[in-house]
Amino acid sequence: MHRGNKSQARSGKSSRPPGLSGREIGMYYKNLARQRKNSDTKNEPKIKLSCDVTVPPGVIMRVNEYMDQFKLAREAGQKHFDENFQQQFRHMLNVNFEAFIEETKKQNKDLNLQNRSLDAHLQDKQKERLQNADFRARFEDRLKLPTMRHATDVIDAVDKNQVVLIVGSTGCGKTTQVPQLLLDDCIEKGIGTTCRIVCTQPRRISAITVAERVSYERAEPLGHSVGYQIRLESRKPRERASITYCTTGVLLQQLQSDPLLHNVSVLLLDEIHERSIETDMLMALLKIILPHRPSLKVILMSATVREEDFCNYFNRCPMLRIEGVMHPVEVLYLEDVLAMTGYQFDCGNNKRSQPRLDQSEHRNMIEPYIRQVRSRYDNNVLEQLRVPHSEGCEDIDFIANLIYYICNKKSDGAILVFMPGLNKISQLHSTLKNPRSPLGQRWRDHLLIFPLHSMLPSAEQQSVFKRAPNGKRKVIISTIIAETSVTIDDVVYVINTGRTKVTDYDIETNIQSLEECWVTHANTQQRKGRAGRVQPGVCYNLFSRAREALMSEVPTPEILRCKLETIILSLKVLHIDDTYAMFQTMIDAPAQRTVSTAINLLKRIEALDINGNLTPLGMHLAKLPIDPQVGKMILISALFRCLDPITSVAAALSYKNPFYTPLGQERRVDEAKRRMAQKMYSDHLMIHNTICNYRESVGEHRDRDFCYNNFLSHTTLQQLERMKSQFAEFLCNYKFLTSSNCLDQSSNINSDKIPLIRAIIGGGLYPNMAHLRKARQVKNRVRAIHNMTTDDGRRVNFHPSSVNSGETGFDSNYFVYYQRQKSTDLYLLDATMVFPMALIIFGDGVDSGVIDNRHYLSVAKTYYFKCSPETVSVVLNLRSNLGLLLLEKALHPAPIEENSDASKLIKAIELLLSIDDKMGDDYEIMSDEIDNI
Ligand code: ADP
Ligand code: MG
């Protein structure tokens, strides 16, 4: 009604609604005035000027001198153009999807890969292999798998159809056998060289273990007929007559250069029931590709979860069902486990950790159920069910106790425990290794414990498959990974905590988070199946039947709960411009708003132009196998020649932090991190310092001690170094670097200039910014109190594991971060302090203006910095030059030569950044805003 009034009031002079009495007229105008006032303040946000960023006149003069010397045009004449990229890029802009497809078809028209002499050779080898004792023994074992019993069905179905869906219970041999069946069939028919099989896996670890398994079955080393390819790591098999297990992401990357998959004869999409964003997207792409590639065979493989959805999606393609041999599995629920073990929860100190909301939710669920089953369970069990932390994996001792119970009462067989994530896995691991109870001490040496998760170093992956020696019991503590993608044969007992970690995306806050939640019926069904592989088994669900009744049927597809930047870039590179339309063709389409939010971010980091077309920068970012923000950071570091520190940051952001935290040692880990941080107020620079110190320790052969003393994972550090080299290789391939060595001197001329490094981290993580208004140290507390907001106005805090969480004396009040996490509070998981000038130089939406007679420069309409008019003009000039330089470099990739004209711009930037050190004094200015701290 208000809105109606307003429009009337604006449309004409005397638009007061007719028929109002005297008092009503007065009220009408009063309301109108109030509305106007409100809408005025809404349209023009109150600008609060922050600290002064005025550049001293002397510095401005020198910056201007440098900029005069920076003449892009002059440099262009001497430059060595990268013709290849130029061409590619022109192409990008001019070619639409259909034309692109036609063109690759034409290029591959005469592709004939068959090599008859090689075919004959392969045939002979195949016959020879039958004499190999290892091969034959292993072949005998393979014959026991249900898939091998369907061998001819599989080969026939693939022969007669372009798309086949194979559905089979987990462990029946789909992943390991189907590719081998098809390859060996081709080889035997003497057309081996026409065959190149690619099988996608949802996770790196499954690509590796499966490839290793299959080459073992074939009695050959990895890299002959079988290999794997995962992001930044590969053991490729021979070109033809081969099977490559790769991650789904790797295949998506390959589509960029080979969109119709001319290089592949059979494509297997495995584990599509998991509904990862990549397999969903690949299926949508395949629908486009298939008509153009009649000879390409596609096999979809799924566990028995809503398989009809896939069959329908591919126009009711033929479905082959492979029934596994399943032994019966007895299923017990929390109430049964409690009755059986008589376990009592400790309600003294654990209770307070439960949020009140959870407690009442739990009560509402459990009380009606207790009334229902009162007659069947004794009172003690019912009392225990009432304890909120009885379900799931809140009480690690309960799980340990159940493991001891199985050891004590049940016959031989491995125990598989499903945990939500690494953290809980290590808690249970250390409880079992260092038991406090006499019961635990009794069983400790009897257990052979294996953690199983996606971060497991390759070297430790295979041991989990080995059978335990007599007198020992194998306990595997795993994430969801053992649910379908990794099969361990000798499991007889499954403990299902019912918890898992799931990414969740909140469009309102634009936060993607990884949260623990209850699994679905589909997960529970799969987990139960893991117990009946070799003999009848038992599945212990650590939740009640009441909880199970509340669980959803199947997990929500990933595409509906994550950010879309990366996937949009990869669509754009494939010339699919209308990403909205493309998403509509997928099994489940994400919300329009999620798509537009992602497109906006890509525009802000200039990967897309204002029309949503790929920019030269965007094209490079799409090729880098990392998050676009991190990708931009390493590209700039290559240009600005500070490669080593920035690739350290990028590697840690895209892989993982090298620190681990043993339970109860949090404080000592924090100390180690603080030592490494060297008061730089940056979690990112801290990682680089750590890597430098690690290298030093390697040089002095004391790296083991170094890692041990500082809670560092040796393997993670090595992996980070490997990733850094691979980034350098990428950048070198694309000509942004002249050397593929991260430590190459010419790539690191500016690597010790901390203000510059800080600014580049800022430029990369932008627009993830936060502003600290006040920091206060509290007596006797390690952590300081921070009054801080992110650019969307939300209150945040440094996560306790951030090196900034205990600090107060920052030199600047601005921070950039990579990830926010919402738990009890909103946290910045990692943060680097940056100076305002860095945001002004590297941010987008930089604007200038005058308010109350004071000039300002603003960033993203969020932060307004006072400054002199001369500063405004020099900074804006510098920004437009930097824009030109970046475009230039994206079009003609090359590092910026020392002493070249372009290097003068870097000098100018450095100069501007170097004066920042003196700008730490806006606490006073802002103090009037500080409210409820
Ligand atoms: P599916 O894909 O149908 O779930 P797989 O092909 O992955 O089944 O596994 C088939 C069988 O191969 C498993 O039941 C297991 O016995 C065996 N297997 C698979 N990987 C390994 C491995 N790395 N080590 C030992 N055995 C394995
Ligand atoms: Mg499989």
The amino acid that residue 615 corresponds to is: T
Write out the DSSP string of 788-821: EEETTS-EEEE-TTSGGGG----S-SEEEES-EE
C-alpha 712: how far from chain center:
22
For the segment 291-321, what is each residue's pLDDT rounded down to a tens digit? 999 999 999 999 988 999 999 999 999 999 9
Q: Which residue has the higher pLDDT, 96 or 604?
A: 604
- Give backbone dihedrals phi and psi of 504, rounded to 5 degrees, phi first: -135, 145
Give the residue carrying structure tokens 């009606």: 368
Ligand nearest to the CA of 210: 1
| Short-list 459, 387, 450, 392, CA closest to 419 | 392
Asked if residue 176 has its Cβ within 6 Å of ligand 1, the reply is: yes
Number of the ligand closest to the Cα of 147: 1
Distance of CA 491 from the midpoint of ligand 2 (Å): 16
311 C-alpha vs ligand 2 centroid, how far in Å? 18
Q: Residue 558 gets which letter from DSSP? A: G
Per the model's pLDDT, the better-predicted residue between 617 and 349 turns out to be 617
DSSP string, 499-553: EEEEEEEETTTTEEEEEEEE--HHHHHHHHHGGGSSS-EEEEESS-HHHHHHS-S
**CA 815 from chain center: how many Å?**
22
The ligand minimizing its distance to the Cα of 178 is 1
- Edge-first strand order for the sheet with 846-851 is 49-52, 863-866, 854-859, 846-851
Residue 74: predicted pLDDT: 47
Residue 273 in contact with ligand 1 by CB distance below 6 A: no
pLDDT at 38: 56
749 has a pLDDT exceeding 70: yes
Q: Which of 378-387, 511-520, 524-533, 558-567 has the lowest mean pLDDT?
A: 511-520
Q: Per-residue pLDDT for 685 more than 90?
A: yes
Q: Determine the average pLDDT of the residues in 623-641.
A: 90
Could you list the beta-strand ranges (E) of 673-742.
none
pLDDT score of 331 more than 50: yes
Write out the DSSP string of 327-340: --EEEE-HHHHHHH
Q: What is the mean pLDDT of residues 702-709?
A: 95
Give me ligand 2 centre to Cα 651, in Å: 30
Rounded Cα distance, 919 and 867, in Å: 12
* φ, ψ (nearest 5 deg) of residue 332: -115, 145
pLDDT at 92: 66
Angle (CA) 330-335-339 rounded to 5° is 90
Atom number in ligand 1 closest to CA 169: 3
- Dist. CA 171 → ligand 1 center (Å): 6
Least confident segment among 277-281, 549-553, 776-780, 817-821 = 776-780
Q: Is any ligand 1 atom within 6 A of the Cβ of residue 175?
A: yes
CA 419 to ligand 1 centroid distance, Å: 21
Q: Determine which residue's CA is closest to atom 10 belonging to ligand 1.
A: 173
Distance CA 287, CA 408 (A): 54
For residue 666, the model assigns a pLDDT of: 83
Residue 487's pLDDT is what?
A: 85
Q: Is the pLDDT of residue 931 over 80?
A: no
Ligand 2 geometric centre to CA of 451 (Å): 20
Q: Residue 917: is its pLDDT beyond 80?
A: no
The residues with which 614 forms a beta bridge, in sequence order, are 608
Ligand 1 site, residue 209, Cβ cutoff 6 A: yes
Of the chain, the end-to-end C-alpha distance in Å amounts to 39
Among the residue ranges 36-40, 312-316, 422-426, 720-724, the one predicted with the least confidence is: 36-40
Ligand 1 atom showing the smallest separation from residue 178 Cα = 6
Tokens of 859: 């960033």
Distances (CA, A) of 271 to 31, 303, 307: 61, 7, 11
d(CA 306, CA 607): 37
Closest-lying ligand to the alpha carbon of 485?
2
Pocket of ligand 1, candidates 476, 487, 526: which has the most ligand atoms within 8 Å of its Cβ, to mutate?
487
Which of 138, 170, 175, 176 best tests ligand 1's pocket when mutated (most atoms within 8 Å of CB)? 176
pLDDT of residue 326: 80
State the ligand closest to the CA atom of 142: 1
Q: Is the CB of 174 under 6 A from ligand 1?
A: yes
pLDDT reading at 2 higher than 60: no
Q: Please give the DSSP secondary-structure letter assigned to residue 242.
A: E
Mean pLDDT, rounded, of the chain: 87
Nearest to 199 by CA among 246, 231, 162: 246
CA dist., res. 818 & res. 829, Å (int) = 7
What CA–CA distance (Å, rounded) separates 337 from 350? 20
**Cross-strand pairs, 866:** 52, 856
* Omega prior to 767 cis, within 30 of 0: yes
How close is the Cα of 173 to the center of ligand 1, in Å?
6
Which secondary-structure segment (H or E) carries 539? strand 537-541
pLDDT score for 623? 83
Nearest to 801, CA basis, from 704, 656, 691, 695: 656
Long-range contact set of residues 285-288: C-beta below 8 Å, sequence gap at least 24: 285/255, 285/574, 286/163, 287/314, 287/585, 288/101
Mean pLDDT value of segment 26-47: 62
CA gap 317, 740 in Å, rounded: 47
Locate tokens 């004409």: which residue?
12
Share of the chain above pLDDT 70, in %: 89
pLDDT of residue 114: 86
3-state class (DSSP) for residue 474 = strand
Q: Which two tokens stand for residue 97?
A: 């999807």
Note whether 320 and 147 are within 8 A (CB).
Answer: no
3-state DSSP call for residue 456? coil
Calpha distance 159→393 (Å, rounded)? 48
Q: Which of 147, 148, 182, 213 to mutate to test the pocket of ligand 1 (most atoms within 8 A of CB)?
A: 213
Q: What is the mean pLDDT of residues 253-267?
A: 91
Residue 121 contacts by C-beta under 8 Å, 6 or more apart in sequence? none
- Measured from the CB, is residue 783 less than 6 Å from ligand 1? no
Which residue is closest in CA terms to ligand 1's atom 22?
213
- What local confidence, expressed as pLDDT, does residue 220 receive? 95
Cα angle 501, 355, 372 (rounded to 5 degrees) comes to 85
CA 176 – ligand 1 centroid, Å: 6
- Ligand 1 atom nearest 176 alpha carbon: 6
Lowest mean pLDDT: which of 149-153, 392-396, 502-506, 838-842?
Answer: 502-506
What DSSP string describes 436-484? -SHHHHHHHTTEEEEEE-TT--GGGTGGGGSPPPTT-EEEEEE-THHHH
List phi, psi (to 5°) of 728.
-60, -40
Q: What is the pLDDT of residues 344-380, one digit of tens each?
A: 998 765 444 455 657 888 999 999 999 999 999 999 9
Stronger pLDDT, 83 or 786, i.e. the higher one? 786
Beta carbons of 829 and 817 less than 8 angstroms apart: yes
| Cβ(387)–Cβ(345) below 8 Å | yes
Q: What are the pLDDT digits (tens) for 123-180?
A: 999 999 999 999 999 999 999 999 999 999 999 999 999 999 999 988 899 999 999 9
CATH architecture of structural domain 116-322: 3-Layer(aba) Sandwich (3.40)
Q: Does ligand 1 have an atom closer than 6 angstroms to the CB of 170?
A: yes
Query: Span 199-216, mean pLDDT?
Result: 93
pLDDT for 13 beyond 60: no
Let me know if 37 is exposed, middle or buried by CB neighbors in 10 A (0-12, 13-18, 19+).
Answer: exposed
Strand, helix or coil for residue 197: strand
Q: Which atom of ligand 1 is nearest to the CA of 486?
A: 7
When pLDDT is averaged across residues 279-296 and rounded to a whole number, the result is 95
Q: Which ligand is in closest contact with the Cα of 209?
A: 1
Instruction: State the Cα angle at 667 between 665 and 671, rounded to 5°.
Output: 115
Ligand index nearest the alpha carbon of residue 533? 1
Question: Of 89-98, 286-295, 325-334, which range is least confident?
Answer: 89-98
Strand locations in 237-283 (E): 242-247, 266-269
Q: How far apart are the C-alpha atoms of 933 and 928, rounded to whole Å? A: 12
Classify strands 814-817 and 831-834 as parallel, antiparallel or unpaired: antiparallel
Q: Over the range 693-724, which residues count as b (16 or more CB within 10 Å of their CB) and which as e?
A: bbeebbeeeebeebbeebbbbbbbbebbbebb
CATH 3.40.50.300 location in the chain? 116-322, 329-558
CB of 862 within 6 A of ligand 1: the answer is no
pLDDT for 933 beyond 50: no
Query: Atom of ligand 1 at shortest distance to CA of 489?
Result: 16
Return the ligand 1 atom nearest residue 147 CA.
3
Pick the residue whose CA is nearest to atom 16 on ligand 1.
Answer: 489
Q: Is 620 in the pocket of ligand 1 (CB under 6 A)?
A: no
Tell whether ligand 1 has an atom less than 6 A from the beta carbon of residue 489.
yes
- For residue 726, the model assigns a pLDDT of 87
Q: What is the pLDDT of residue 97?
A: 78
How far apart CA 185 and CA 141 sit, in angstroms, is: 19
Using a 6 Å cutoff on CB, does residue 299 contact ligand 1?
A: no
Residue nearest to atom 12 of ligand 1 (CA): 173
User: Could you name the CATH architecture of 329-558?
Assistant: 3-Layer(aba) Sandwich (3.40)
At 415, list the tokens: 């125990």
**Which chain residues have CB less than 5 Å from ligand 2, an ion?**
174-175
Nearest ligand to the CA of 269 is: 2
Per-residue pLDDT tens digits for 563-598: 899 999 989 988 888 999 999 999 999 999 999 999
Structure confidence at residue 442 (pLDDT) = 94
Answer whether residue 788 shows pLDDT above 80.
Answer: yes
pLDDT at 927: 32
pLDDT at 922: 39
Q: Which helix (H) or strand (E) holds 299?
A: strand 297-302
pTM of the model: 0.79
Give DSSP secondary structure letters for 394-424.
S-HHHHHHHHHHHHHHS-S-EEEEE-SSHHH
787 pocket-lining for ligand 1 (C-beta < 6 Å) = no
Q: Is the pLDDT of residue 223 over 80?
A: yes
Q: Which atom of ligand 1 is nearest to the CA of 461?
A: 23
Specify the range with the lowest mean pLDDT, choosing from 213-217, 222-226, 348-352, 519-523.
Answer: 348-352
pLDDT of residue 458: 67
Ligand 1 neighbour 168 (Cβ under 6 A): yes
Ligand 1 proximity of 180 Cβ (cutoff 6 Å): no
173 C-beta closer than 6 A to ligand 1: yes
